[in-house]
């Protein structure tokens, strides 16, 4: 196991609603990244948080937002859900081993937007 847990595992929402996905990282992992993985595709980077501040963002609109908390947990919030937001959302915490940044992924939250 990676030590990264995500909740819930599955979620069904309707278009226009808001959703909050949660991630609990390993203790000491002060960097967390969120990814969106559409069916049959590789994960797409949404954003990264380091010490509770966003320090990198992919090509996602502002209705995708996040929070990171001092206890190494984090949230992904998506407002005004669209059908295309249906995907697996992955959280990854990371730590440096030597010069390499090692990511540990959670099992993901499967979001279905109807």
Partner 1 sequence: KNQVEQSPQSLIILEGKNCTLQCNYTVSPFSNLRWYKQDTGRGPVSLTIMTFSENTKSNGRYTATLDADTKQSSLHITASQLSDSASYICVVSINDYKLSFGAGTTVTVRA
Q: Which residues bind partner 1 (CB under 8 A)?
A: 2, 4, 6, 31, 33, 35, 40-45, 48, 55-56, 90-92, 94, 99-108
In the complex, minimum distance from the CB of residue 80 to partner 1, in angstroms, rounded to a whole number: 25
Q: Where does 1-114 show beta strands of DSSP type E?
A: 5-7, 10-13, 19-24, 31-37, 44-50, 53-57, 64-68, 73-78, 87-97, 100-105, 109-113
* Comparison of 15 and 103: residue with beta carbon closer to partner 1: 103
* Comparison of 16 and 56: residue with beta carbon closer to partner 1: 56
* Comparison of 9 and 16: residue with beta carbon closer to partner 1: 9
In the complex, minimum distance from the CB of residue 58 to partner 1, in angstroms, rounded to a whole number: 8
d(CA 33, CA 97): 17
In the complex, minimum distance from the CB of residue 36 to partner 1, in angstroms, rounded to a whole number: 11
Is the distance from CB of 89 to CB of 76 less than 8 angstroms?
yes
């Amino acid at each position: 196991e990676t030590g990264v847990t995500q909740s819930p595992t599955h979620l069904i929402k309707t278009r226009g609603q808001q959703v909050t996905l949660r991630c609990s990282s390993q203790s000491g992992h002060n960097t967390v990244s969120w990814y969106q993985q559409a069916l049959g595709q590789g994960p797409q980077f949404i954003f990264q948080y380091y010490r509770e501040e966003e320090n990198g963002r992919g090509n996602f609109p502002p209705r995708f937002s996040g929070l990171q908390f001092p206890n190494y947990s984090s949230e992904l919030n998506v407002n005004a859900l669209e059908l295309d937001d249906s995907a697996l959302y992955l959280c990854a915490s990371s730590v440096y081993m030597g010069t390499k940044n090692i990511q540990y992924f959670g099992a993901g939250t499967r979001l279905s937007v109807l």
